[in-house]
């Protein structure tokens, strides 16, 4: 995968509340091309693997429960400077701190149920895309 790609998930709260279309619309309007897309349920085991980097954090067990509580939408996105530009588009982890115009400002409900995931590095974007879509 080229470094002009990032990986995202629309999280269970946003899927449950019928925000898939609204969020994908903001992503496309932000200049990203959707190159892979899949709606899927994560088991607690798979959610735990995905967020294994946070295994020692106090919120880990709640995060795994939340991420396996309903369907998610996984996607690979393409754009110049994709990782950094997508983090800008989604906004701060805690929606109380998210800028106007960001996806989390519009759709996130709490620091945990914050509507979307975005990769934090090119390396993790590749690992996370492979987690769902396999090596291409």
Residues marked as catalytic: 117
Helix (H) or strand (E) holding 38: strand 33-41
Give the x/- contact pattern for ligand RTP in 65-104, rule: CB under 6 A.
Answer: ----------------------------x-----------
Instruction: Report the C-alpha gap between 71 and 90 in whole angstroms.
Output: 20
- Residue closer to ligand RTP by CB (options 48, 118) is 118
Q: Which is nearer to ligand RTP, 5 or 117 (CB)?
A: 117
Strand (E) or helix (H) holding 129: helix 122-133
Which alpha helices (H) appear in 1-121, and where do they start and end?
12-16, 20-29, 44-50, 60-67, 82-90, 103-107
To the nearest whole angstrom, how small is the minimum distance from the Cβ of residue 112 to ligand RTP?
4
- What is the size of the binding site for ligand RTP (CB under 6 A)? 10
Q: Which residues bind ligand RTP (CB under 6 A)?
A: 54, 59, 63, 93, 111-112, 114, 117-118, 120
């Amino acid at each position: 995968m080229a470094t002009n790609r990032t990986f995202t998930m629309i999280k269970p709260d946003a899927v449950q509340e019928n925000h898939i279309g609204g969020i994908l619309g903001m992503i496309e309007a932000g200049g990203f091309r959707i190159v892979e897309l899949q709606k899927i349920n994560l088991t607690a085991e798979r959610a735990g693997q995905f967020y294994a980097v946070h295994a020692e954090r106090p919120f880990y067990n709640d995060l795994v429960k939340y991420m396996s509580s309903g369907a998610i939408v996984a996607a690979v996105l393409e754009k110049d400077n994709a990782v950094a530009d997508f983090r800008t588009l989604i906004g701060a982890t805690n929606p109380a701190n998210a800028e106007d115009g960001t996806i989390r400002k519009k759709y996130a409900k709490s620091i945990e149920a914050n509507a979307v995931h975005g990769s934090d590095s090119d390396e993790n974007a590749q690992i996370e895309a492979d987690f769902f879509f396999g090596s291409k």
